[in-house]
Amino acid sequence: MRRIEGRHNALVKELRQSFSKSEPNEDGFCSIEGLRILEEALRSGVRFKAVFFSESALSKAQRLLPQIGSHTETLLLPDKLFAAAVPSGAPQGVAALAKWKAFTIEDLLTRANTGPLLALAGVQDPGNVGTILRSAEAFGAAGVIVGEGTVSVVNPKVVRASAGSVFRVAVVQARLADLITKLKEHGTRLVATSSHKGSALPESSLDSRIAVFVGGEGAGISRDLLAEMDEIVVIPHSERVESLNAGVAASILLYEIARRK
C-alpha cells in the first residue's frame, strides 16, 4: 500500500473528478465509495484501477487487502485528503476507481427470454433507480435499459441504493424511441406502468417476452412512447394515494412477473 500526501496525485485527481461528474472517465472507470459497496464490487468480480483508504480506515484496509490482491494499486491517504476527494457526508474511508462489465442492446435482446427487460424513461431520483436495479436482480430481470433523462447508474447514490446489484445487472444506456422497432422485431411485448388508466395488474398479460417501461417521478412516460405500448398496466391502490413511487411500481411488476413464472 502506497502512502499519498499531495492532492495533485494523478489517481487522487481522477477519483475526485469522477465523483464530481458521476460518469465513467475515458477508460470506463468510475468512482465508488463505502465499505459495503467495495465488498459487493469485490464479490461481483469488478475490475479496479485503484483502491483508496483513509488513515483512520487502516484496519479496513488490512482486512480487504488480501481480497483486492497485489495487482491493484492501493493508496493510503490522510483523512483530510480523502475527505476532499470523496464528497460523501459521512465518508467511511474506503473508495475506488472501478469498472464493471459493459453490455450491448444485442446482449439484452438475447437474454430477454430469461426474464423481463426494464426500460427507464426519465427516472431522475437516484434512490428509485438504485431500488429498480436491486429489484431487477432479485426478481430475475434480463436487463435494464437506461433511457434519456434517467440518472446515470454510476451516480454514487444509485450505486449505494442498489446495494451492489448495479455491478451484476446487465445495463445499457440508449434512446428509447430508437429501440421500439428493434424490441418488437424480436417479439417483445411493450408494457408501461400507469397510475390512472389501463389494465388492472391481476388481469394484465405478463407471461410472454416483455419489456416494462417505467416513467419518471413527475411527468411519467411521454405520449409518444405510450402510443407504442401493447398494454398499459395499473397497480390497484387506494384512491387517497395519487400514484406509486417509480421504484415501488417497478418492483411490484417484477415480483408479479416472477410469481407467474
CA separation for the pair 249, 66 (Å, rounded)? 41
pLDDT for the residue 108:
95
Q: Closest Cα to residue 83, out of 156, 164, 10, 7?
A: 7
- The model's confidence at residue 233, banded by pLDDT at 50, 70 and 90, is very high
In tens, the pLDDT along 83-125 reads 999 987 777 899 999 999 999 999 999 998 899 999 999 999 9
Instruction: Give the 3-state secondary structure of 173-238.
Output: ECCHHHHHHHHHHCCCEEEEEECCCCEEHHHCCCCCCEEEEEECCCCCCCHHHHCCCCEEEECCCC
- The model's confidence at residue 36, banded by pLDDT at 50, 70 and 90, is very high
Percentage of the chain modeled with pLDDT above 70? 100
| Best-predicted range by mean pLDDT (199-208, 209-218, 249-258) | 249-258
- The model's confidence at residue 32, banded by pLDDT at 50, 70 and 90, is very high
Pairing of strands 117-121, 210-215: parallel
pLDDT for the residue 68:
92
Spell out the alpha helix ranges (H) of 152-206: 156-162, 176-185
CA separation for the pair 135, 88 (Å, rounded)? 25
Domain boundaries, the chain: 2-99, 105-260
pLDDT for the residue 50:
96
The mean pLDDT value for 228-251 works out to 87
pLDDT for the residue 119:
97
Pairing of strands 73-77, 47-54: parallel
105-260: which CATH number, 3.30.70.360, 3.40.1280.10, 3.40.50.170, 3.40.50.300? 3.40.1280.10
* Cell triple for 161: 441504493
Task: Give, in words, the CATH class of 2-99.
Answer: alpha beta
DSSP conformational letter for 152 = P
CA separation for the pair 247, 243 (Å, rounded)? 12
